[in-house]
């Protein structure tokens, strides 16, 4: 499943939302992974905050970080494979990729 930006997704809801028209409201995720895994939330918030930091500051005017940060939290809180880094690193990598695609 690929987004309009050609990013590969494994979550069907994220895939569907990525193709939604601008006029359509965002769908709510039926499972808040940070609520389901509260012990992972502090780690997720701390590590995903790199997307909001000066490291990616130059990208913020070009690629909206809000969606990527939210997905980073969801993915990192819900990650059950590859240790703590797999889902976090994939989320950060997705934002970095979009930043590079937009110069």
- Burial of 37 (C-beta count, 10 Å sphere; 0-12/13-18/19+): middle
In the chain, which ranges are E strands? none
> In angstroms, what is the C-alpha Rg of the chain?
13
The H or E element spanning position 15 is: helix 12-18
Between CA 7 and CA 24 the distance in angstroms is: 21
Which of 92, 75, 50 minimizes the C-alpha distance to 100? 92
- pLDDT in tens for each of the 103 residues of the chain? 787 788 777 767 777 777 766 666 665 555 788 888 889 999 999 999 999 999 999 999 999 999 999 999 999 998 876 566 788 999 999 999 999 998 7
- To which residue do tokens 């918030």 refer? 45
Kindly report the pTM of this predicted structure: 0.68
């Amino acid at each position: 499943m690929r987004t309009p930006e050609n990013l590969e997704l494994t979550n069907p809801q994220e895939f569907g939302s990525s193709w939604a028209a601008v006029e359509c409201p965002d769908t709510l995720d039926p499972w808040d992974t940070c609520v389901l895994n509260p012990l992972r939330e502090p780690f997720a918030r701390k590590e995903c905050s790199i997307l909001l930091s000066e490291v990616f500051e130059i990208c913020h005017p070009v690629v909206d970080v809000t969606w990527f940060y939210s997905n980073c939290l969801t993915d990192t809180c819900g990650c059950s494979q590859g240790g703590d880094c797999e889902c976090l690193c994939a989320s950060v990598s997705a934002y970095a990729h979009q930043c590079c695609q937009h110069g």
